Amino acid sequence: LSNAQVGRVVVACLDPNPVASGGAFELREAGIRVDIGVLHDQAEEVNRVFLTAHRTGRSFVCLKVATSLDGFMAPLKGPSGPITGAMARREGRRLRAEMGCVLVGRGTVVEDDPRLTARVKGVVNEPLRLIVDPFRRLSGQERVFQQPGRAVRAVCQELAQPGDWPVPAEDGQIRPTHLVRNALASGVTGILVEGGPRTVSAFLRDGTVDQIEWFVSPDRLGSGRRFDLSDWSGGPWRWKRPRLLGRDLWLRAVRS
């Protein structure tokens, strides 16, 4: 830009990625007028996944949960089956594509045998599928490993095999913070954490969630495994505008 003798450069927000930062000040030194902060808040909103990842040194974490009206994510035993309707489920798959990576624990793979693909019109690259399987108990024959695109296991580092993501663990417990730091180092800026309850609880307890996408059915389950926000150890939240998707309510919250 300085070689091209550009008269004025307008910057919405500065790039926190050390590889790219500093350019605006170099241009100023070259005598070019640089206005920084124009439409700053809108730019922060549009780029929040990338900006959060590079500011915190870990992937941005979006938590997606579907619950019954009485707060359950799954029955006490066995697969939950669909809790919400088709529109909410389609939105959930779109979020997979938007984040570029989807994460579940081993329990969800065993109980639901999901594909975890986006299956959204126009999406060519399927999201990376990340499965927390600390003791490497899954056989590798499950559907999640047979779909187009990549599926990777996060495994205790001493049990990792080629192709796995080794993560430090204590008594088989992986700290989500370690996992999402490794993920950013591997080029993953955003992760959609889809559960189930044990995985969700680990991310909440660790304070490693930036956004919540919460789909609530109007139906009661009566009993089961809860989505329990009292596990949250981080700071306050701010609601975004809620929406109705068919019969389901779609609640959205971001860290304030």
Ligand X SMILES: NC(=O)c1ccc[n+]([C@@H]2O[C@H](COP(=O)([O-])OP(=O)(O)OC[C@H]3O[C@@H](n4cnc5c(N)ncnc54)[C@H](OP(=O)(O)O)[C@@H]3O)[C@@H](O)[C@H]2O)c1
Between CA 205 and CA 185 the distance in angstroms is 23
- In the shown chain, the binding pattern of residues 96 to 135 toward ligand X, with x for contact by CB under 6 A and - for none, equals --------xxxxx--xx-------------------x-xx
Q: Which residue is nearest to ligand X (CB)?
A: 107
- Residue 23 Cβ vs ligand X, minimum distance, rounded to whole Å: 39
Give the residues across from 167 on adjacent strands.
156
Which residue from 51, 61, 62, 65 is in contact with ligand X, where contact means CB under 6 A? 65
Which of 49, 102, 116, 174 touches ligand X by CB under 6 A? 174
* Subset of 192-211 contacting ligand X (CB under 6 A): 194-199, 202
Tokens of 227: 């989505």
Cβ count near 129 (within 10 Å): 24
What amino acid occupies position 6?
V
> Which amino acid belongs to residue 76?
L
CB of 206 to ligand X, least distance (A): 8
Residue whose CB is less far from ligand X, 51 or 154: 154
Which DSSP letter does residue 210 get? S
4-63: contacts with ligand X (CB under 6 A): none
How many residues interact with ligand X (rule CB under 6 A)?
29
What track of x and - describes contact with ligand X for positions 72 through 91 (by CB under 6 A)?
-xx----xx--x--------
Near ligand X in 134-163, by CB under 6 A: 134-135, 137
Beta bridge partners of 24: none
- Give the strand pairing for 248-255 and 211-216: antiparallel
In the chain, DSSP assigns E strands to 8-11, 33-36, 60-67, 72-74, 101-105, 128-132, 151-156, 165-167, 169-170, 173-174, 190-195, 211-216, 225-226, 237-245, 248-255
Least separation, in Å, of the C-beta of 171 and ligand X?
A: 9
Which CB sits closer to ligand X, 60 or 227? 227
Q: What is residue 126's DSSP assignment?
A: P
Neighbours of 104 (CB within 10 A): 23
By CB under 6 A, residue 213 contacts ligand X: no
- Sites of contact with ligand X (CB under 6 A): 65-66, 73-74, 79-80, 83, 104-108, 111-112, 132, 134-135, 137, 172-174, 176, 194-199, 202
